[in-house]
Amino acid sequence: MSLHIGDIAPDFTVDTQVGKISLHDWAGDSWVFFFSHPADFTPVCTTEMGRTAQLADEFAKRNVKPLGLSTDSVEEHHEWIADVNDTQHTNLTFPIVADTDLAIAKTYEMIHPDQSETAAVRSVFIIDPKKKIRLTMTYPMSVGRNFDEILRVIDALQLSDAKRIATPADWTPGKDVIIPPSIANEEAATLFPQGWVEHRPYLRTVNVK
């Protein structure tokens, strides 16, 4: 079964290096950045786990909980985290799923046979507080993720929810956004009293805080 944007993220209960968690209960009222890795003690994964830990304050201020996944064991996670902390100069505290039987990786379609039959590719799922999948990204094993982009799309999703807007290409916080065509000018005047620029009837841009 394919997972699509808007689907409820499948729940699971699993061991991590910080204890057993159930996804939906653990997430609570937070967003979740759920991301998979091919294996512990691998170079690209080490830098990504370290970067996630370094960005702990950035995720926290967005009400986002990181959750990693590897198909290795809790014991291996503990040993690997020591390497991550040492080489990436950080303190990793977020949970890493121990998916040794590949059950979660298969449910979330993280196993791509052309890459590996037993190791997960670099999948990203952004899950909102209603437990809906809001964004997916998949990278090959050889390419590390861009964490600026991960934070950017979280910002875009959260602003879209809060202000009923869409974001244009290459948007970053502070730049103008788009008023969706589904919002007529009469309603837009109430939602955006600061006014907007109409480039075309279907393309209106506005700055929101």
Positions annotated as catalytic residues are 45
Q: Which amino acid is at 58?
A: E
Q: Alpha-carbon distance 62 to 66, whole Å?
A: 11
Token pair, residue 140, equals: 């090959």
Bridge partners of 70, per DSSP, are 98
Name residues whose C-beta falls within 8 Å of residue 101's C-beta, 6 or more positions apart in sequence. Answer: none
Contact (Cβ atoms closer than 8 angstroms) between residue 123 and residue 36: yes
Q: Alpha-carbon distance 90 to 85, whole Å?
A: 5
Phi, psi of 15 (to 5 degrees): -80, 145
Residue 64 burial class via C-beta count within 10 angstroms: exposed 0-12, middle 13-18, buried 19 and up? buried
Tokens 């950035």 correspond to 58
